[in-house]
């Protein structure tokens, strides 16, 4: 089996020729490329989904304060706020995405899907979609496989790393994976799934990576929430067959082109954007001083 995940067009043709579903083709690819066993791959995905669910629960139930002080139990505050601005489901979606990402910022256990910086998006969206639509774990696992195929193509044609392509590559890719997974789980066809990816990328295009003090906290945590919301809006648009007009492969190419043209200060160097604001710089200095203060005496003397 040659490398399958070079383009969405190629992935679709392959599945049509072989009469395979999208998730089946990803499993087949994993078995072929990594000498994996189908049962083990599925068990591993279920385990990954359990870690995602745990991260949501942990973020909503346990103390979540980061050493820098920038993260301070935000998910719980959103979850428990008496006023829902849209609906209780939307409130839960946002707080779950925040919760799982806060766990990452507080050094807890998450699934880096596709990166730790974007680790709240799939948990927030999938747990919420499962709850609203009564999806089984098996359906969610298939959705995760679809998301994996999407990520493989983005990685091939653009990038999944903030240091290479800006935040569009991290939270944008995670949102695209989630949108595709949601549409798949809700019975959408391949064109609708890929259109959801295209629409999501269009919404996330150009987002820079500018973490304050170089910590994956601000704006990373809130971006996980907004990306989760975009996943749902894209899924809704795609299921109604409203075209993103620009085909998905071209959207990914645009993401790669935008990422390549971004200046390095917008690629995780903490030298541009929010990291370069007065407040961002003051926080960076404070964090640095804190780090020096906790160094052992012998290291300080060197
Ligand atoms: S701002 Fe940078 S570090 Fe933070 S989530 Fe986005 S890509 Fe990752």
CA of residue 15 to ligand 1 center, whole Å:
33
Buried b (16+ CB within 10 A) or exposed e, 116-149: bbbbbbbbbbbbbbbeeeebeeebbbbbbbbbbb
Beta bridge partners of 65: 72
Could you tell me the domains of the chain?
A: 8-301 (1.10.4100)
Is residue 167 within 8 Å of residue 268, measured between CB atoms? no
* pLDDT number for residue 298: 62
* pLDDT number for residue 301: 52
* pLDDT number for residue 296: 66
CA of residue 115 to ligand 1 center, whole Å:
9
CA of residue 146 to ligand 1 center, whole Å:
23
What distance in Å separates the CA atoms of residue 25 and residue 240, rounded to the nearest whole number?
A: 25
Longest dimension (CA), the chain: 67
167 lines ligand 1 (CB under 6 A): yes
188 lines ligand 1 (CB under 6 A): no
CA of residue 167 to ligand 1 center, whole Å:
5
Low-confidence ranges of the chain (pLDDT < 70): 1-2, 294-302
% of the chain exceeding 90 in pLDDT: 92
Helices (H), 62-172: 74-80, 88-105, 121-133, 137-157, 162-165, 167
249 lines ligand 1 (CB under 6 A): no
Is residue 174 within 8 Å of residue 124, measured between CB atoms? no
């Amino acid at each position: 089996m040659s490398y399958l995940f070079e383009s969405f067009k190629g992935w679709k043709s392959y599945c049509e020729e072989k009469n395979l579903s999208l998730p089946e083709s990803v499993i087949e690819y994993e078995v072929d490329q990594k000498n994996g066993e189908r049962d083990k791959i599925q068990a591993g995905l279920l385990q990954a989904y359990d870690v995602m669910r745990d991260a949501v629960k942990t973020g909503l139930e346990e103390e979540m304060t980061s050493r820098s002080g920038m993260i301070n139990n935000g998910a719980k505050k959103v979850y428990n706020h008496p006023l829902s601005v849209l609906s209780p489901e939307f409130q839960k979606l946002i707080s779950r995405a925040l919760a799982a990402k806060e766990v990452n910022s507080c050094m807890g256990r998450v699934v880096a899907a596709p990166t730790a910086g974007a680790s709240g998006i799939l948990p927030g969206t999938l747990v919420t979609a499962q709850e609203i639509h009564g999806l089984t774990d098996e359906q969610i696992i298939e959705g995760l496989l679809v998301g994996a195929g999407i990520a493989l193509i983005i990685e091939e044609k653009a990038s999944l790393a903030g240091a290479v392509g800006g935040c569009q590559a991290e939270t944008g890719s995670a949102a695209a994976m989630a949108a595709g997974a949601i549409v798949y789980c809700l019975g959408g066809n391949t064109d609708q799934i890929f259109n959801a990816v295209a629409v999501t990328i269009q919404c996330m295009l150009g987002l820079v990576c500018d973490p304050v003090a170089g910590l994956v906290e601000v704006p990373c945590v809130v971006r996980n929430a907004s990306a989760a919301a975009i996943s749902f809006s894209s899924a809704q648009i795609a299921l109604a067959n409203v075209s993103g007009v620009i085909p998905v492969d071209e959207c990914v190419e645009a993401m790669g082109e935008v990422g390549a043209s971004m200046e390095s200060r917008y690629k995780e160097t903490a030298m541009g954007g929010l990291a370069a604001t007065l407040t961002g710089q003051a926080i960076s200095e404070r964090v640095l001083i804190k780090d020096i203060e906790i160094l052992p005496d012998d290291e300080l003397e060197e």
